[in-house]
Homo-oligomer: A and B are copies of this chain.
Amino acid sequence: MKNELLSQVYQHPLISQDELNRIIDSHQKINFQKGDFILKEGEVASNYMILESGLIRSFAYDYNGNDITTDFLCNYEVVIEVLSLFQRTPAQENIQALTDCACWKIDFDIFQELYHSIAGFSEWGRLWMTGKLFQSKQRSLEIITTSAKDRYEHLIKEKPQVILQSPLKYIASYLGITDTSFSRIRKEI
């Protein structure tokens, strides 16, 4: 399972089988229980993880102290607070398990060594960041140009697990509306 999962995640034409094995060997199993905090605002991240199973959310607080869900993560996704990990600064976001989760963890210093010794791995990393940046910009565009209802329908298609496994209030804040409005939108559909 570990090999299969991580081989898929780290697939890249410039990474040889040998290098891939080194990368995979650097990951360790770690589990979380529903509700566990994987990273808390203010802590400095010292690793990232590949999510094998379960659902995770990241969230931040707005000016009024409201908890706003910034992302949902599921199968095969990378669980990471990029800013904290790469800048070695206190995290601005919280990361929390919404269900029991199984993950594969890699520590920052080991990652760094691989990143600088395997050209394909740093290419992989850059491509991953590229994808994340694109997603994030798409999200801004979506918030600006579509209604909350449309965004909800889009989320249902993109990540149906979220609808099944997350408390509705977290989905509402992710969509950028109150749970009251969200309840009404759900009634319409």
Contact = CB atoms under 8 A, between A and B. Distances in A.
Nearest to A93: B137
Given A87-B127, A130-B87, A136-B136, A145 B82 contact: no
Interface in A71-108: 82-83, 86-87, 92
Q: Is the interface of A mostly helix, strand, loop or mixed?
A: helix
A17 interface: no
A66 interface: yes
Contacts of A137: 70, 136
Q: How many copies does the complex hold?
A: 2
A31 to B, nearest CB: 27
A38 B20 CA distance: 38
A144 interface: yes
Contacts of A143: 140, 143-144, 176
Contacts of A131: 83
Interface string A48-68: 000000000000101100101
Contacts of A70: 137, 140-141
Contacts of A116: 119, 122
Contact of A141 (B68, B125, B145, B146): B68
Nearest to A133: B133
A117 to B, nearest CB: 10
A126 interface: yes
Interface of A: 60, 62-63, 66, 68, 70, 82-83, 86-87, 92, 115-116, 119, 122, 125-127, 129-134, 136-137, 139-141, 143-146, 173, 176
20 contacts: A62-B145, A62-B146, A66-B145, A68-B141, A68-B145, A70-B141, A82-B130, A82-B134, A83-B130, A83-B131, A86-B126, A86-B127, A115-B122, A116-B119, A125-B126, A129-B129, A136-B136, A140-B143, A144-B173, A145-B176
